Structure 1
């Protein structure tokens, strides 16, 4: 291929201006559209996905800007080549300029090295790329490695040798060190110019500063890797949290009867409802346990947060609750010790919980709560909220004291325990109710209604009273709750536990 710098060959003519101008217009229009997308991309530097999207937009913007510049050079034709550097007047010397900020390249320069005369000819742009004084003589092939980073010199030598000896084209990159100490990455493409006898007479090359391009590409790659790592970590954390939750929550499916012996038993069923807006597992739990005395322990609770740490904290709470209940601890004291345990935990957290102890011989329910929704009692087709004893959130106050309440149940009574988060808090309860308003939560403020203030969930649950009265088993009642709340766009996880006194 003939050199475009050699005086022995005519200069290439630029293409028609009209066609190139049309390409320039299309490029600038596309650049404006990409810029609009970039402005809409998330600007939060802490989000790997947002950084990756913005980095891709920036890279596309840079490439379109450089394409615009290349097309303009194509339209205007090749730049003029300095004739005699030595004859240039001192006043005509141009100071090398740094690459424009945000550009993926400074300029595209060209050079030719004549092997017969050992002369070198550089374009003015190449002087700017290398940061050299235009009045200085161009570097020969033997001198060129002096501006190349030491680690990259063998690569340059191999490319030049292959071109001069084996007539192979050059296509590669190396890093150069400018006089001001700035390290730039240069991409070079070149070919040998053959003499009439087939030997290599000279070599020409086009050099492009791709430092900003490589920097942008590294940014895209790093943010992509960071995003993939974050997703892999989230998937792993979710898998571990799910496995831990499944290992801790009661394994029974369908109905369970406790105590297992005796006529006065509880028909039990429960369900965990995951959040529809988060992939991470929350700290909601339910539990039922037959105690050595023949009593039955029922509990539900919720720790703040999500992920493996919260799920492991939930496992600790269930284990501590079971151990203290087996030792005969009453619900009020049990809540106080759970509060002390959470307050002394290495991982600070807040939690709500409710613990009930049912004595089958007297059908007495003793219960305590820590900032948790109160139980709902359904009897003869109506429902009401049990009046909650005093109790603040677990982990909120050191040395908190928790009260206890008692309720005598009757055969056929249905007790419903739940965590908040069943429905969005923006839901407005209907004005008509099928239960006794005098026994509703209207005698308490929102903080007293289970401590969680989730009146919307309470309203909808109490509306199920007539249907609960017709159900044959606790599992049927749980199924009704799932039908009512299962498809709801919940921001939080939720649990529901139903206990029905055998008739």
Structure 2
């Protein structure tokens, strides 16, 4: 059977050539579309593993399309005839990556035929002649020589097709990776008479593959680190907050006392790893501490800072420090911490003996007071973000609450306010439902039903305090 590479063949019919031309045009258009997509979607940022991975994929796809175009061009032109007078080109100076050359080794007369492209790929002078099967391994790097020997042996002795990659070192010292495909050529009696092969330079293609693998592995490592940090931050956050349940205490039995409930609503993007907090506790003097707040960013550092702030806040409240002084001390704490950060906070103290709520805020949404089926924000005192400036003095306000009143505290991520001292209409619209609720936990569930769905884009805390005594 004649070699499929060198056998005479009839000229391609015009319709077949037209079909190949059409495929070449489609490949060129697809290559142009790929360039447009890569320019539009991939921003080069060497510090961003995802950007490097996207660029590697674009380069890999480009190499595949370039190789497809080259193969279709060869299909259209037919097999090239060897040209002894053609000087080999330098692959470093010409687009040879992906180029293919052909060879046939005759086992009967030890004859060897190489195409001109194969001389170029190997960087070998035409005058030096082709390499025999015995000489070919000398061009390979030592660790790849057994691979080539095994491929040739299986092909000639077992009749198996040859398909594999190996690396060669050219006379100029450059290393190239070649992909070889071949099969034995048999005579009419079924005896092997020669070996033919197509060898293609896949160096650039392999470089793109390796880059894609490296950047993908880098992304995987980054994702593993992020998951570990997320888990630690979640555990720290959950350990610091007083309880994962709605209610922060039993429903009070004494008229005028407070029933308090709270809930953290994690976002889909960050989960419960941000700096949001809520807290409520009965102090030694009988007053009830109510506080919510939020530090910027998320992750382990923010969760750690949140734990520090909440611990300091509890300690100062137990020591009897009033809300405005408490926020002044928290501001100083964040200003002098190892990892300075910004945050908003609201701190209130409710005295059940007088019904007075004394509160202060640091760049935080004002409490919402719901009474008799209507709601409105309390007039806020002066206060800037914690950590924003040293030596800040915070204002303080008081409000008299009556049995049946509901106070709602929240972080700004739950329902961002339109401006200082305002509240979203959606929250105020819950007034009739909150009026009908008999416990603080019911009020919290009402808020969660409205803001806790999958479509909710931001994290947030909500704390509801209900003054007992309504009939």
Q: TM-score range by the shorter chain?
A: 0.7 to 0.9
Pair 405,469 (structure 1): closer, same or farther in 2 beyond 3 Å: same
1:63-212 alignment, distance < 5 Å = 63-82=64-83, 85=84, 92-98=85-91, 105=98, 107-164=99-156, 168-193=160-185, 201-212=193-204
Is 214-223 or 119-128 further displaced after alignment?
214-223
- Equivalent-residue separation in structure 2 for 1:76 and 1:187 (angstroms): 22
Maintained 8 Å contact 1:353/1:369: yes
> Which stretch of the first structure deviates more once superposed, 307-316 or 172-181?
307-316
Q: 2:93 and 2:266 mapped to 1: Cα distance?
A: 53
Cα distance in 1 for residues equivalent to 2:328 and 2:154: 82
Matched, 1:267 2:259: yes
RMSD: 3.3
Aligned to 1:3: 3
> Residue 367 of structure 2 aligns with which residue?
375
Residues 194 and 201, structure 1, Cα contact 8 Å, conserved in 2: yes
Q: 1:4 to 1:256 in 2, by over 3 A?
A: closer
Structure 1 residues 173 and 215 mapped into 2: Cα distance closer, same or farther (>3 Å)?
same
Aligned match of 1:479 in 421, 440, 445? 445
1:243–1:104 distance in 2 versus 1, CA, 3 Å: farther
**Distance in structure 2 (CA, Å) of the matches to 1:233 and 1:309:** 14
1:351 counterpart (343, 368, 372): 343
- Separation of aligned partners in 1, 2:207 and 2:272: 35
Structure 1 residue 320 corresponds to structure 2 residue 315? no
- Deviation (angstroms), 1:129: 0.8
- Any idea what SS the aligned residue of 1:325 has? helix
**Corresponding residue pairs, total:** 465
Structure 1 residues 93, 256: closer, same or farther in 2, change over 3 A?
closer
Q: TM-score, normalised by structure 1?
A: 0.80
Asked whether the 8 Å contact 2:264–2:272 carries over to 1, the reply is no
Change (3 A) 1:185 1:383: same
Post-superposition shift, 1:125? 0.5
Contact 2:296 2:343 in 1 (8 A): yes
Gaps of 5+ in 1: 86-91, 428-445, 450-454
Q: 1:29 aligns with which of 23, 26, 29?
A: 26
TM-superposed deviation, 1:168 = 4.7
Contact 2:349 2:359 in 1 (8 A): yes
Say whether the 8 Å CA contact 1:355–1:367 is kept in structure 2: yes
Residue 439 of structure 1: aligned partner? none
- Paired with 2:11 and 2:338, the residues of 1 have a C-alpha distance of 73
Unaligned runs of 5+ in 2: none
Q: Distance in 1 between matches of 2:437 and 2:12?
A: 85
Distance (Å, rounded) in 1 between the aligned partners of 2:2 and 2:457: 69
